[in-house]
Amino acid sequence: MAPPPDHRRPIKRVAISDQQRRRELALRVQADRRSDAQNRARQLASSVLSLGPVTEVEPELEQEQEMSDASDQSGGRTELDPVRAASLRGPEVRRWFATQLMLPEWMVDVPPLLDSDWYVFPRPSGKRCFVVSSNGTTVSRLRNGSILHRFPSSLPNGARTKDVSGPSSSYSILDCIFHEADETYYVIDMVCWRGYSLYDCTAEFRFFWLNSKLSETGASDPPSQYHRYRFNVVQIYECNLIGLQAAYLGQVSYVKDGLLFYNKHAHYQAGNTPLALVWKDNVCSQYVLDTDNQGQIPSQQQVVLELQNDGSLTTSDDPPVALGCLSRDMIAQYGLRVGNLVRVEVRDDSVKLVDGKLDLGDLQLVGKPNRSRAFADTYSKVLFQYAARRAPLRIEDLVASIQSNPSVENSQALDIEMEG
Amino acid sequence: MAMEITQALLAAQSPDGQTRTVAEANLKQFQEQNLPQFLLSLSIELSNDQKPPESRRLAGIILKNSLDAKDSARKEHLTQQWVSVDPSIKFQIKESLLRTLGSSVAEARHTSSQVIAKVASIEIPRKEWQDLIGKLLGSVTQAFAPGSLKQATLETLGYVCEEVAPRDLEQDQVNAVLTAVVQGMTSAEPNSDVHLAAIRALYNALDFAQTNFENQIERNFIMKVVCETAVSKESAEIRQAAFECLVAIASIYYDYLEQYMQTLFNLTAEAVRGDEEPVALQAIEFWSTLAEEEMERQDDCVALDELNSPLLHFHFVDKALESLVPMLLETLLKQEEDQDQDDTVWNLSMAGGTCLGLVSKTVGDKVVPLVMPFVERNITKADWRSREAATFAFGSILEGPSVEKLSPLARSGFEFLLSAMKDQSSHVRDTTAWTLGRVFELVHRPVSGDPVINEKNLPGIMTVLLDSIRDVPNVAEKVCGSLYFLAQGYEDAGPASKALTPYYESMITALLSTADRAGISNVRLRASAYETLNEVVRCSYVPDTLNTTAQLLQEITRRVMHTVDLQVVSSDDREKQSDLQALLCGGLQVIIQKLGGSEGKSVILQMADEMMMVFLRVFGCRSATVHEEAMLAIGALAYVTGVDFAKYMPEFYKFLEMGLTNFEEYQVCSISVGVVGDICRALDDKILPYCDGIMTVLLKDLSNAMLNRSVKPPIFSSFGDIALAIGENFDKYLPYAAPMMQSASEMCMHLDTSDDDMVEYINQLRRGIFEAYSGMLQGFKNSKPEIMLPYAGSLVQFIEAVFKDHSSDDLVTKAAVAALGDLADALGGRIKELLVGSPFYDELLSECLLSDDDVLKETAGWAEALIQHILQS
């Protein structure tokens, strides 16, 4: 029987050409990766480090603009987008950086599978920052985008020394807490290493990489001429009974400020995430309750919220959660504008819990927060602080959940407890 | 000499190896010492009726091979060689060839007409041998020429038309050719061999007949003769050739068909219903071609609606639909008993179903009510032909009509189709499994609101498919196809792809045992099983399937290991081993990619050593080349392991080099070049020790004229990868690489942009060159950017040339703008004057800033900021 004409494919012949498909996919992936690699080198090396310092005092108007934009952008942004960063100037730098750190939610109930799926470590007290090393220099930037230090370090390409391994344009980004007392950067996460992004890697892998790579560099050595500050790795524990106890009670070289819990499977995600949690009590932190502008613990809980155009006050979550509202009179009285951050006092008599959600009711304005504040509080923080003054989540609860394999009832019980 | 060459030609075909070798050497020596004489001797040998047919045959073959080759570089060489032969000798050779057309030996005539066409393909475009057509026509129109001469001459005319492009013949030559051919077809000519040669020549000459088709009278005449020939009583071969002409006319001269459509419909319908199969198949092909032509015109209407002269679109298929569809449905009942055994079978039923499929794609929903009654009427009949035809008809119309129209039918037909997988006829089961696959491929929309496959019917579907995969091989193969498309439906479906999770393990088990069962006795089934396995893995929902996939990874690794130990005695064994390794390494590649980018990364890292060992052993199975599939998988693995890949380099390197130097199998070379990029990104500067070797080979590849051109753009890109990875250490390669980039840029400016393929190639080349510049600029930026200064001017010039030429695509523009930014970034103030002298950049960037493409816009913004900075400083 004659075959069909050359160009005519019989309809019934199953046309699976897997190999061609794989070839094409592989080529596409390679092309994408090449452009990623070139973009990374292009953007970070030339832009992040050369961005000017942030002017500390800015006109009020600019800050307003900034706040509303920041909330617009927070959705859907998951990775450093340095093409964007390259064109940023002044206040935009702050906003940009502010959206890049992974921010833990506050632990208001115990997540399931705490012992198998989570790590725990004692959080150093200090300034949370990004440390970027590239092109022979190292820069640390605070969450609000301002530069903390610019210094030489033993991080890859972190100082102008002869012994450079790898292209000096490759950069590394560490997520750190700067601890003033011993002038040490405590590294709590690794975001990029020698130009390679770890964003899409699990916490398990990032911590593994952090531990094995940082020690190769000498960054943990004592300070020297080309290494201004020491970088220390924080000891990370499996969140079983032994690990939790070690993190909670163990001696560390820094002042503890609560415990951080990281879900092992979570990727590095910019912004607030429930896959990283912070918890504290009086044993592991000096700062359980929030302070006011003067650094004092107020008698009533105070929260920082953002004013919306309908008069409601919202958290910095995405999407924002409305917790209460201000009267028109008060808005007018204080000359507040949409997007302003306000410090308000929580009054017990007007607080309601509706369907497990907190409603602070009418709020008493206490004032405006520090200028350096870029964000309102998150919902989980408000809730944690609220509970901390009444029926806190205790270390015993964490221990119990590990022992009993936490279940749904457990978290419901906590919700109810908080009502009282 | 004449006598000697006869001997040599005969001896070169001797069964005795020794004799053959000596004869071949003699011929070669003759050829090298005096090519013109050699060719002349061959042509004389061919023309001499006194010589044995064997020596004449070989003489013809050598002549042909001295004039033409598949490989374009070789062909160019042969062309030049012929052109430089002394004109008087060429004249003698051509005269011999023309003389041979009058030979009494049919084979010699046939060979000679082919050689003449090859010579014509070289000379006619150069405006040489201008009297060829005249001479040929002289033989045809000569009243008393013997039929054999006329036949051979017409055949030659056909071949010549096939070899040369329409622009190379003058209109009066075309007219004369057509006149001669048409005369040869008319009944005034008594010889049916001449008729056949004439109608075949017409087929080749149709491309030249544009002007003649534009003229109503000439067109009518040509169409009349072709249509008469299509019902010629002489032979089915002649009628078939006439229908082949009609098929060609349908595609080349669609615009002029309207007035003939009624006639053509009747002609084709009669042929489909009553003529011999080869003729009927061409008649069906006429409608398939028409349908394709109209689909293209529909697409073009959409794409070109702003142009003033849209392509004509007469909706012939649509208008003929009510008679056409019943005609095609009848053909479906004309199956052959063993048609499912052979994948390439082409008979009335296949051609009819294929045509019906094209008709559906052309007219969409309208076909459904015309086909469904046939399906319903036949699907439960007692004879298998009716049931199979009904299912085939249903399966054929699933592409084209809207999903809305088809969903209810598919949904209500599911139950029936599933039960038909138990039909006593394997033909019915085969077609049913295929139809299910078509439903999954074309009608299934898992993320739509109301998917055809849902949690209610999925369990039943899976039970039947996993059971039927054990059916006879041809049915099992179709079942694999169904599973493939079922899985593919869930690609990129996010959590919706969880739907298949419960069946993941059993699908894998079933596919593996199908592959085992097929073994080497049914390679098609085995390939289908493995390829389906890949698709099932690719489309699975990893968080759920991680463990099973990890086990599969181990199983496949074990299977590859097993192939290495297979006993290989013959080259046939080697090929079988290699085929199986291809399938399995393909599977590994899919798994590496699937898990490497997700939660499964640690699985890949753990298995990396073992997999790498297996790949190296697969490479070890062959001596001269490397396995393309293993190479692809290694690229994927390098990306996942990152810098740890360094430990494999000492052993892997020689195979990489082998791949990079394999320019005969350019796909292998191309993939190896891609792997260089993967490894650069994985190893960074750890690749340095291997760069001397890699760069040497890549530079050689670039200057190799035999290497398929498609490999060259990725080589430039890989220069960029290497430079980015090793930074300043690239300096020693720069003096070699940069001139290559410059001359390739030059070449881009002078290539012919009228050919779409060439434009695509130019764009790939441009992109590769820009990526090379970018990688180098970035690589040198921090240590010695000034090293790039001498090349800044030619880069800017190249960017300008690309910008001003409007054939470049978005990807090229993006790469150009990025390279411009990198230049500014790396060289800063040092290129201030260059920028001031090249004001075009402003226009380029402004254009990009207005683009809809965000990435392009951002890159342009970035480049602009850098340039502004330079100009203001």
Instruction: Give tens-digit pLDDT for B423-434.
Output: 999 999 999 999
- The residue type at A232: N
When divided into structural domains, chain A yields a total of 2
Strongest mean pLDDT among A86-90, A143-147, B694-698, B847-851 = B694-698
Distance from CA of B455 to the nearest CA of A (A): 27
Cα B24 → chain centroid = 36
Q: Which residue has the tokens 């061959």?
A: B42
- Taking only the tens place, the pLDDT of each residue in A275-321 is 889 999 988 888 888 777 777 888 888 888 888 888 888 888 877 88
- Residue from the list B344, B481, B717 with its beta carbon closest to the beta carbon of A16: B481
Confidence of residue A170 (pLDDT cuts 50, 70, 90): low
Q: How many CB atoms lie within 10 A of CB B525?
A: 24
Burial-class residue A158 by CB neighbours within 10 Å (0-12, 13-18, 19+): buried
Is residue A75 very low, low, confident or very high in pLDDT (cuts 50, 70, 90)? very low
B3 has pLDDT over 60: no
pLDDT value for A14:
60
Tokens encoding B629: 């599939």
pLDDT of B168 strictly over 70: yes
Nearest to B777 by CA among B765, B764, B792, B798: B792
More confident residue, A88 or A72: A88
List A residues 104-133 in contact with B (Cβ-Cβ < 8 A).
Answer: none
Task: Please give the Cα distance from A81 to A72 (Å, whole number).
Answer: 16
* Residue B777 pLDDT grade (very low, low, confident, very high; cuts 50, 70, 90): very high
Residue B102's domain comprises: 1-129
Q: Could you give the number of structural domains in chain B?
A: 3
Q: Scanning the structure block, which residue is given the tokens 């073959």?
A: B61
Burial class (CB in 10 A: 0-12, 13-18, 19+), B4: exposed
Decide if pLDDT at A37 tops 90.
no
Between residues A51 and B550, the one the model is more confident about: B550
Choosing from B78, B104, B129, the residue where a domain stops is B129
Q: What is the pLDDT of residue B68?
A: 92
The pLDDT of residue B448 is 64
What DSSP assignment string belongs to B106-161?
HHHHHHHHHHHHHHHHHHGGGT--TTHHHHHHHHHH-TT--HHHHHHHHHHHHHHH
pLDDT digits 0-9 by tens, B463-482: 999 999 999 999 999 999 99
Q: Which of A279, A310, A327 is the last residue of a domain?
A: A279
Considering only B457-461, B672-676, B749-753, which range has the smallest mean pLDDT? B749-753
Whether the CB-CB separation of A129 and A142 falls below 8 Å is answered with yes
Question: B705: which DSSP letter?
Answer: T
Tell me the residue type at B570: S
Nearest to B817 by CA among B789, B836, B840: B840
Please, are residues B265 and B284 in contact by the beta-carbon 8 Å criterion?
no
Q: Is the pLDDT of residue A85 over 60?
A: no
pLDDT at B359: 97
**Range B141-148, long-range pairs (CB < 8 A, 24+ positions):** B141/B180, B141/B183, B146/B102, B147/B190, B147/B191, B147/B193, B147/B194, B148/B102, B148/B103, B148/B104, B148/B106, B148/B109, B148/B193
| Residue A45 in this model has a pLDDT that exceeds 50 | no
B700: its two tokens = 């050689």
Of B661, B606, B659, B601, nearest to B630 by C-alpha is B659
Inside any domain, residue B235: no
- pLDDT score of B339: 79
Mean pLDDT over B174-180 rounds to: 90
Cα–Cα distance measured from residue B599 to residue B541, given in angstroms and rounded to the nearest whole number? 11
Q: Can you tell me the distance from the alpha carbon of B429 to that of B477, in angstroms, rounded to the nearest whole number? A: 11
Q: Looking at the domain assignment, is residue A77 inside a domain?
A: yes
Handedness of CA B367, B369, B372, B374 (dihedral sign): negative
- pLDDT bucket at A90, cuts 50 / 70 / 90: low
pLDDT tens digits for range B586-619:
999 999 999 987 778 888 998 999 999 999 999 9
pLDDT tens for each residue of B208-264: 999 999 999 999 999 999 999 999 999 999 999 999 999 999 999 999 999 999 999
Three-class DSSP category at B472: coil
Q: For B677-698, what is the mean pLDDT? A: 94
**Cα dihedral B502/B508/B513/B515 (nearest 10):** 150
* Cα–Cα distance, B832 to B488 (Å, whole number): 53
Q: Which residue of B has its CA nearest to A2?
A: B346
Confidence grade of residue A42 (pLDDT, cut at 50, 70, 90): low
Mean pLDDT across A121-133: 91
In A202-290 the beta strands, taken as DSSP E runs, fall at 230-233, 237-238, 256-263, 271-279
B394 belongs to a structural domain: yes
Best A1, A6, A7, A11 member to test B by mutation, with max B CBs in 10 Å, is A11
**What is the bridge-based pairing of β-strands A184-193 and A230-233?**
parallel
Q: Is residue A317 part of a domain?
A: yes
- In chain B, % of residues over pLDDT 90: 70
Give DSSP secondary structure letters for B215-242.
SHHHHHHHHHHHHHHHT-SS-HHHHHHH
Q: What is the mean pLDDT of residues A1-15?
A: 73
Higher pLDDT, residue B421 or B867: B421
The answer to whether residue A187 sits within a structural domain is yes
Residue A66's pLDDT band, with cuts at 50, 70 and 90, is: very low
Q: CB distance A167–B727 less than 8 Å?
A: yes
Q: Nearest CB to B677: which of A30, A167, A265?
A: A30
Three-class secondary structure assignment of B837-862: CCCHHHHHHHHHHCCCCHHHHHHHHH
pLDDT of residue A73: 35
Which pLDDT band, with edges at 50, 70 and 90, does A169 fall under? low
Residue B785 has pLDDT above 70, yes or no: yes
d(CA A206, CA A191): 8
- A265 and B CB contact within 8 Å: yes
Give B383's pLDDT tier (boundaries 50, 70, 90): very high
Quote the crossing angle between the two packed helices B216-230 and B171-185, to the nearest 10°.
30
Are A233 and A340 part of one and the same domain?
no
User: Cα separations (Å) of B272 from A140, B239, B278, B389, B528?
Assistant: 80, 12, 10, 17, 34
> So what's the pLDDT on residue A78?
38
Please list every residue in chain B whose beta carbon sits closer than 8 Å to the beta carbon of residue A16.
481, 484, 528, 531-532, 535
Same domain, A165 and A49: yes
End-to-end CA distance of chain B: 82
Kindly report the average pLDDT of chain B as a whole number: 91
Distance from CA of A145 to the nearest CA of B (A): 20
The residue written with tokens 């004039």 in the block is B67
Task: Please report the number of interchain residue pairs, chain A to chain B, with beta-carbon separation below 8 angstroms.
Answer: 172
A85, closest residue in chain B (CA to CA): B862
Percent of chain A residues topping a pLDDT of 90:
14
> With bands split at pLDDT 50, 70 and 90, how would you rate the model's confidence at A87?
very low
Q: Residue A221 sits in which domain range?
A: 19-279
Average pLDDT over residues B733-756: 87
SS3 B802: helix
In a domain, A410, yes or no: no
Q: What is the CATH number of the domain that holds A181?
A: 3.30.470.30
Does position A326 have pLDDT exceeding 90, yes or no? no
Average pLDDT, stretch B815-838? 91
- Is the Cα dihedral A282, A285, A288, A294 positive or negative? positive
DSSP B537-596: HHTS-HHHHHHHHHHHHHHHHHHHHHHHTS---SHHHHHHHHHHHHHHHHHHHHHHHHHH
- For residue A47, the chain B residues in CB contact (below 8 A) are 862
Q: Is residue A414 included in any domain, yes or no?
A: no
* Whole-number pLDDT of residue A43: 56
Kindly state the average pLDDT of the residues B84-111. Answer: 94
User: Which run of H or of E encompasses A129?
Assistant: strand A127-134
| Number of Cβ within a 10 Å radius of residue B710 | 15
Instruction: Report whether A259 contacts A127 (CB < 8 A).
Output: no
Question: What confidence score (pLDDT) does residue B614 get?
Answer: 94
- Confidence bin at A56 (pLDDT 50/70/90): very low
Q: Do B771 and A169 touch (CB under 8 A)?
A: no
Tell which of B530, B675, B782 to mutate to test the A interface (max A CBs under 10 Å). Answer: B782
Within 8 A of A135 by CB-CB distance, chain B residues are 782
Residues A219 and A88 in one domain: yes
How many Å from the N-terminal Cα to the C-terminal Cα in chain A?
86
Kindly state the DSSP code that residue A101 receives in the 8-state scheme: S
> Looking at residues B27-48, what average pLDDT do you find?
93
pLDDT confidence of A71, banded at 50, 70, 90? very low
Residue B733 maps to a domain:
yes
Q: How confident is the model at residue B855 (pLDDT cuts 50, 70, 90)?
A: confident
Instruction: Calculate mean pLDDT across residues A130-137.
Output: 83
Q: Which tokens go with B368?
A: 């459904």
8 Å CB contact of B862 and A86: yes
- In our burial notation (b when 16+ CB lie closer than 10 A, e otherwise), range A366-399 reads beebeeeebbbbbbbbbbbbbbbbeebbebebbe
Per-residue pLDDT, averaged over B373-398, amounts to: 96
Q: What is the arithmetic mean of pLDDT over B91-100?
A: 95
Residue B261 shares a structural domain with residue B122: no
The pLDDT tens digits for B152-164 are 999 999 999 999 9
Do A255 and A317 fall within a single domain? no
Predicted local confidence at residue A372, as pLDDT? 67
Mean pLDDT computed over A98-105? 79
> How many angstroms separate the CA atoms of A17 and B528, rounded?
9
Confidence at residue A407, expressed as pLDDT on a 0 to 100 scale = 42
**Predicted ipTM of the assembly:** 0.72
Q: Does B681 sit within 8 Å of A46, measured CB to CB?
A: no
Out of A18, A30, A202, closest to residue B534 by CB: A18
If one counts every other C-beta atom within 10 angstroms of the C-beta of residue B306, the result is 6
Give which of B843, B831, B837, B817 is closest to B869, Cα–Cα.
Answer: B831
Task: Tell me if the bond preceding A392 is cis, omega within 30° of 0.
Answer: no
Confidence of residue A15 (pLDDT cuts 50, 70, 90): low
- pLDDT (average), residues A173-178: 92
| A274 and A307 housed in the same domain | no
- Chain A interface disruption, residue of B284, B862, B864, B867, most A CBs within 10 A: B862
Is the pLDDT at A49 greater than 60? The verdict is no
- Rounded to whole angstroms, the Cα distance separating B489 from B483 reads 10
The residue among B114, B129, B144 that closes a domain is: B129
CB–CB contact B342 A1 (8 Å)? yes
